[in-house]
Amino acid sequence: MNNETQSHYNVVIIGGGAAGLMCAIEAGKRGRSVLVLESTTKPGGKILISGGGRCNFTNLNAGPHSYVSENEHFCKSALARYSQDDFVKWVESSKIGFYEKKLGQLFCKDSAKLILKMLLDACSKANVDIRSNTKISKVTKDKEFLILTENVQITSDTLVIASGGLSIPKMGATGFGYDVAKQFGIKVTKTGAGLVPFLFDKSYLTHFTDLSGISIDAEVQCNGKSFRENILITHKGVSGPAILQISSFWRPNDEVLINLLPDLDLTQLIEIKRKENGRQEIKSILIQLLPKRFVERIFELWLKNKTLAELSGQEIKLIAAFFHAWKITPIDTEGYRTAEVTVGGVDTDELSSKTFESKKVAGLYFIGEVVDVTGWLGGYNFQWAWSSGWCAGQYV
């Protein structure tokens, strides 16, 4: 799958990740000569590290509601034409064992290497050439595309940008795809880190540093969106699945509300407990519901511990409001270094939702994370890669 002598291809795909490999397979099946150029040492790096090495390769609940984009309708066509069911059937036919962990998340029973092998085997069968460790210095277009690398000039009829976003730079992430878009006059929306932990300011952080590792089942809200999963106190701020989910909707200076007791009405519970035994302390009631050290810290800092009988109606309201709507205002996220995805990207108004071809530049396509479509945590971004790669592969 590595042909250094051939210099012209029907299709050149820049980026050997999930979307790029999927597109290459589909184009190769159509008899197109296809070359994948990957800047790192081997294709599929993010596939191998995903899901703790087991690859959360899709989600049973994937649908348009699971994606963030300035155009919420753009992803509908691709997800309908190549769905999670289609990818699952391929995994099953490849005899790869998998299981549902929770909330529709599908993981390999064994290793992410099996998913990558499935893709690379399909590339080989479709006669796709793959060149790793290839740095691209320039892309131009006259009648055909010219791609200049350190070692060779390559021409192609069509060019697919599947180079991903800015997340996890240690894996080779760069803004290459956005630069190509801008070079050709294609708009790029504002980008930011998504599915990423929050940072507290130093004064707030001092209250929680020693509580690092405490996990709480909670409902987290911001900008009209809410997610129910665990939050995790860290030595820098707060993380956990619910925080990662909401981070894609957070903007600087936004307040985040955390319902620490989403399954009960604390005001009602206090009234019931007060009738049972008014001599109980409110703190002891909450310690039965939440991690002890966390509750003790909250009372040290912001609330007064009293017996239930001593609590006034206003004090009960204050306590209930705190635990049902703990307000935090992160100073920032941890950024692209730990972000799982990039929010924003190539403006979807610039692309065909059917083919992913640029409306301005014939033969230029953008797929996967480089596009302004970002999935929730839990296999949704892989599904977007499979769907967008498959759709573009039918036309390139």
pLDDT tens digits for range 295-317: 999 999 999 999 999 999 999 99
Which residues, in sequence order, are CB contacts of 114 under 8 Å at separation 6+?
55, 94, 96, 108
**Model pLDDT, residue 151:** 81
* Number of residues in the chain: 396
Which residues, in sequence order, are CB contacts of 306 under 8 Å at separation 6+?
281, 282, 315
Q: Is the pLDDT of residue 254 over 50?
A: yes
Residue-wise pLDDT tens digits, 143-162: 999 999 988 999 999 999 99
Mean pLDDT of all residues in 224-247? 97
Q: Is the pLDDT of residue 3 over 60?
A: no
Residue-wise pLDDT tens digits, 191-200: 999 999 999 9
Q: Identify whether the C-beta of residue 87 lies closer than 8 Å to the C-beta of residue 19.
A: no
Which residues, in sequence order, are CB contacts of 31 under 8 Å at separation 6+?
none
Mean pLDDT of all residues in 351-380? 98
Calpha distance 378→101 (Å, rounded): 10
**Model pLDDT, residue 6:** 67
Q: Is the pLDDT of residue 136 over 60?
A: yes
pTM here is: 0.94
Which residues, in sequence order, are CB contacts of 153 under 8 Å at separation 6+?
7, 146, 147
Calpha distance 393→259 (Å, rounded): 44
**Model pLDDT, residue 150:** 86
pLDDT band at 170 (very low <50, low <70, confident <90, very high): confident
Q: Is the pLDDT of residue 77 over 60?
A: yes
For the record, the structure tokens of 348 come out as: 């979807």
Calpha distance 89→286 (Å, rounded): 47
**Model pLDDT, residue 2:** 46
Determine the angle formed by the axes of helices 113-125 and 18-29, rounding to 10 degrees: 30
Work out the mean pLDDT of the chain and round it to a whole number.
Answer: 96
Q: Please say whether the dihedral angle defined by the alpha carbons of residues 37, 41, 43 and 46, taken in this order, is positive or negative.
A: negative
E strand or H helix at 389, and its extent? helix 380-393
Separation in Å, CA 157 to CA 13, 145, 274, 377 = 11, 6, 76, 36
Domains of the chain by start residue, with CATH = 8-192+342-393 (3.50.50.60), 197-334 (2.40.30.10)
For the record, the structure tokens of 207 come out as: 């209250």
Task: Provide DSSP, 181-202.
Answer: HHHTT--B---EEES--EE--H
